């Protein structure tokens, strides 16, 4: 697996880089050589943030952890990634290394995660009326929602305005 390290306001250092490499390479059990891992280490307002993204054969696994130190974050991020891998293992067995799931024990998890059957609970329909991004912000705040779907009056495209984990707003522009 190829591993890319990105530092943002934080110096990873050789010791942490070696530990990350050692632990992430354990995931080679599931992936072939063409898998890539991207590790972003950030220091934001005295909080350490670790983002781990692994791509393999068109699939994406991502974990984002914040904590008081980067070493603890590693031990929180890897089980999240492995949980995602295991959940997809039955549906997409062809995307993993042959024999990856023959051994009953896991690398970072104590037990197999529960399978949750997600059903559509509620369905809504609405008319898309062209509005500006500023109007969409106001509507989203008034409704106290975490996202708002609208037809952008300036571009004519469907957009999604959403609240990110850091409290900032994000905008998704849908091309179709």
Q: In tens digits, what is the pLDDT along the chain, a chain of 176 residues?
A: 899 999 999 999 999 999 999 999 988 888 878 889 999 999 988 899 999 999 988 788 899 999 999 999 999 999 999 888 887 766 565 556 565 555 566 767 666 666 667 788 888 888 888 999 999 998 888 888 899 999 999 999 999 999 998 889 999 999 88
- Residue 166 has a pLDDT of 86
Domains and CATH numbers, the chain: 2-95 (3.30.160.100), 130-173 (3.30.505.50)
Residue 169: what pLDDT? 94
Check if the beta carbon of residue 82 is closer than 8 Å to that of residue 113: no
**Helices and strands, number each (H, E), in the chain:** 3, 8
CB 112 within 8 A of CB 106: yes
Tell me, what's the pLDDT at 94? 58
The pLDDT assigned to 171 comes to: 95
């Amino acid at each position: 697996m190829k591993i890319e390290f990105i530092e943002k306001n934080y110096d990873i250092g050789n010791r942490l880089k070696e530990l990350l490499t050692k632990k992430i390479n354990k995931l080679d059990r599931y992936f072939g050589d063409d898998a890539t891992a991207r590790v972003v280490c950030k220091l934001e307002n005295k909080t350490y943030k670790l983002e781990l993204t692994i791509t393999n054969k068109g699939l994406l696994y991502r974990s984002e952890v914040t904590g008081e130190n980067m070493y603890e974050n590693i031990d929180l991020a890897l089980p999240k990634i492995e949980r995602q891998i295991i959940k997809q293992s039955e549906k997409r067995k062809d995307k993993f290394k042959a024999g990856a799931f023959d051994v009953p024990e896991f690398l970072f998890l104590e037990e197999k995660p529960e399978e949750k059957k997600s059903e559509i609970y509620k369905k809504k329909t609405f008319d898309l009326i062209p509005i500006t991004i500023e109007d969409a912000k106001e509507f989203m705040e008034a409704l106290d929602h975490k996202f708002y779907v609208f037809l952008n009056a300036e571009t004519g495209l469907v957009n999604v305005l959403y609240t990110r984990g850091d409290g900032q707003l994000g905008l998704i522009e849908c091309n179709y």
